[in-house]
Structure 1
Amino acid sequence: MIQENVEKEKSEETVVDFNAIDASQTHQIAEFKYDVPLTTLRTDPTGRFAAAGAEDLAVQLWDLDSGQRRTLNAHKSWVRSIDFSSDGNRIFTACWGGNINVWDTGQDQPTPLLTIQAHRGAARFVRVSPDGTQLATCGNDLLVKVWNLADGKKVHEFCGHERHVYGVDFHPDGDHLVSQDLMGGTNVWDLKSGKRQRTVDASVMTGYDNKFAADMGGARDIQFKPDGRQWASAGITKVTNSFAGIQDPIIVLFDWETGKEVKQLKATDDNVKGIAWGVRFHPDNFIIGAIADRTGKGELWFYKPDEEKAFHTMKLPSAARGLDLLADNRRLAVAHADGHLRLYRMTAKPPAAEAPAEKTEAEKTG
């Protein structure tokens, strides 16, 4: 009788699928340490590589399977934005000096295959087109440019922004761009006609710092929903003292057809001040944000599009400076201000799982 009861209890135990996506159980699974604060992050579409800029001007390229790290040295200033080709074989890096470098991920000691002097002043963002044939950039010269990847020649140059352009991204249809500047001025560009299609108001994502008499704002990240119906922009709002980090992080969703604001995603805790450095749409219909708090720590936000508050937040050990969703849609990569690249998994944590071990120097460098 006792044995029968034991067997019954076992059969009634809940079976946990440790591969099922559950953002509320997100946990850290790995970390890769570098000696310098990281500045930005991008993972390749195959899920093998993660590339991060750092404050020593170099780009670090990690093989996420082996943990081996290679250094991409050529830029003379901080790298602000990175993107990969669809096959993961090429990396595109944009720096404050205005250069775009193109790299081969297969090289043991990478050197630039091509350098494009893209902008006067900082090149703030770089994105590859959905078909992999073009590159969009933007910068402090108030311009948005499109380049042919086959020969590095300029295809389009769009003017219309009145302040530094912080972010740009291709619509999934490949025929349009969205760009956003310091003051929230947002333009939609038609690549077929070569003209501005419309303007969008994102002025909520800016503010005036009275202490330093300076305008503050600009998109730290722009991401389209895969179906193209919305895009998200991450940044700041309600600026009081930006240099001290006294501002609110914010992610704003916009409707593609109307250009109207759909929703503002904000911290669930009013005491959280800082910057939203990353945003991603998850295929399971939720939105992920990465935050740098003025305390030096960070947060991950998880929002459902029809709910006012985040259904989950996760404290991070250091300020986030870049976010990406890996190809398996279960893992997140975050670049941190403490020099760590950390991987997080959005599933239940197996009972036997232990705290992630930091990679050794041999594992990092191969």
Structure 2
Amino acid sequence: MPLDSSAWLKQHPPKALATLTQPEPFWCLRAHPSEQWLLAGGGIGQLHRIQADGDSWKVASSVSVHSGWVPAIAFHPNGELVVTADTWGKLRCSRVADLAGKPSWEHPHAHAGWIRQLAISPNGTILASLGQDQMIHLWDIPTGKPTHSFRFTETDGFSLAFHPKQGSLITGDLHGFVCEWDPKTGKAIRRMQLPDFYKLDRIQDVGGIRCLRFAPDGNTILAAGCKPTTGGFVQGSSLLVWLDSQRWQVLTTIDSANPNDGFITDLAWHDAGFWLSCSSGQPGQGKLALYPERGGPSFWNAPAPNSHGLVWLARSQRVVVSQTNTGSNGNGRPKTANQEYPSNFSPLGQWRFGSA
């Protein structure tokens, strides 16, 4: 039975909790299966372990085990291993008990540059890595040995996910194509384009499917990103498309219709039967939003400026969102007295739905 969102919100009123303000910028955020701690990928090759501290969080430790930014993290379902990747193409499998120690395995040049996303198969044996080099590599997790490699598109790829029951792999790219692959053979099974995710403007390709997720039963795929309106200083509305994974047909499309809203940057499944998303648009723009399982307008949202990642913690009924500080600085922004640009950082905002 579909969720009655109005009734659910009355029974589980959202409450903003304390925000963790810390000095580091985070690119991605993932929760350990125990939900007792989080791992954030940051700059200059760092991983930040963030420990629960009552209703708040604290950065418990930071280790430098990568070379570039760390945009992708995947915990193994057993909770003992974590795979991390960086913008220089390094892939590393570590024991969570010793993130700074000798890895279980690593590949300094797993991809020719930026590794954008990682996914682990439902049975925990296969890792998929997607790179800016237009390649997908499949790895045997126990040994770290490559099993298959294939070029999935003629343009940049952004997203991938394993089917939770069948084990097939789907990918999303810059031109709005969703493709399903057989990981045993590396062969494409089927492919379709969602054209609203892509625009050629000012000699630039902009947009792309930035997130792909299966619902837990595997029957629905959610593709998310941006419907771009201009290139250059890219503007576009947040875009979500629900697909029937069996019929390979579009079920619902939701367009925020505001060109300042920008990209959906991360998605998570709520065990009550709906989706959580975070977004990043023009400076200072971004939202945490809730959407029905099989599509429809957002039934609740809250400001979450320029968010990069989110995690849903079922045991404590909390969502944590990695955001960007207000007044974020860049070229042309005010300088300090020392004529330097202040560094940006990532506050961790959080909300609880009802009582834990």
TM over 0.5: yes
Q: CA RMSD in A?
A: 2.4
Q: What SS does the corresponding residue of 2:19 show, helix, strand or coil?
A: strand
Q: Residues 226-237 of structure 1: matches in 2 within 5 Å? A: 226-237=216-227
Moved more, 109-118 or 319-328: 109-118
Which whole-Å CA distance do the structure 2 matches of 1:226 and 1:196 have between them?
23
Check the 8 A contact 2:105/2:143 in 1, yes or no.
no
Which residue number in structure 2 is paired with residue 314 of structure 1?
A: 302
* Structure 1 residue 227 displacement after superposition: 0.2
Paired residues in the alignment total 325
Q: Does the 8 Å CA contact 1:245/1:273 hold for their aligned counterparts?
A: no
Aligned equivalents of 1:225 and 1:329: distance in 2?
21
Answer 1 or 2: higher relative contact order, Cα 8 Å, separation at least 6. Answer: 1
Identity of aligned residues (%): 24
Distance 2:318 2:210 in 1: 21
Whether the 8 Å contact between 1:293 and 1:299 is mirrored in structure 2 is no
Q: Give, in angstroms, the shift of residue 150 of structure 1.
A: 0.9
- The answer for unaligned runs of 5 or more in structure 1 is 1-19, 350-366
Structure 2 segments unaligned to the other structure (5+ residues) = 1-7, 326-345
Displacement of 1:23: 8.8
Aligned partner of residue 153 in structure 2, secondary structure: coil
- Equivalence map 1:189-200=2 (5 Å): 189-200=181-192
- Structure 1 distance, partners of 2:99, 2:65, is 15
State which of 26, 31, 39 in structure 2 corresponds to 1:38.
26
- Out of 236, 244, 254, which is 1:255 matched to? 244
Distance of aligned partners of 1:120 and 1:152 in 2 relative to their CA distance in 1, 3 Å threshold: same
Cα distance, 1:158–1:87 mapped onto 2, change above 3 Å: same
Instruction: Look at both structures and tell me which one has the larger radius of gyration over its CA atoms.
Output: 1
The aligned residue for residue 155 of structure 1 is 147
User: For residue 55 of structure 1, what is the aligned residue in structure 2?
Assistant: 43
CA contact (8 A) 2:252 2:295 kept: no
Cα displacement (A) at 1:202: 2.4
TM-score, with structure 2 as normaliser: 0.83
Q: 1:311-350 maps to which residues of 2 (within 5 A)?
A: 311-316=299-304, 318-328=305-315, 330-338=317-325, 339-347=346-354
Distance (whole Å) between structure 2 residues aligned to residue 327 and residue 145 of structure 1: 31
Code of the aligned partner of 1:218:
G
| 2:212 maps to amino acid | I
CA distance in structure 2 between the aligned counterparts of 1:110 and 1:239, rounded to whole angstroms: 46
Distance 2:44 2:13 in 1: 34
Q: Show the counterpart of 2:17.
A: 29
Q: Are 2:145 and 1:138 equivalent residues in the alignment?
A: no
Aligned to 1:74: 65
Q: Which residue of 2 aligns with 1:3?
A: none
336-345 or 223-232: which moved more?
336-345
Aligned partner letter, 1:62: I
CA contact (8 A) 1:23 1:302 kept: no
The residue aligned with 1:359 is none
Aligned-pair distance for 1:274?
A: 1.5
Q: What is aligned with 1:225?
A: 215
**What do the CA deviations read for 1:249-303 (whole angstroms, capped 9, x no partner)?**
2122211112222222332x73642211012232322221111131324211112
2:178 aligned partner: 186
Cα pair 2:135 2:151 within 8 Å, conserved: yes
What SS does structure 2 have at the residue aligned with 1:244?
Answer: coil
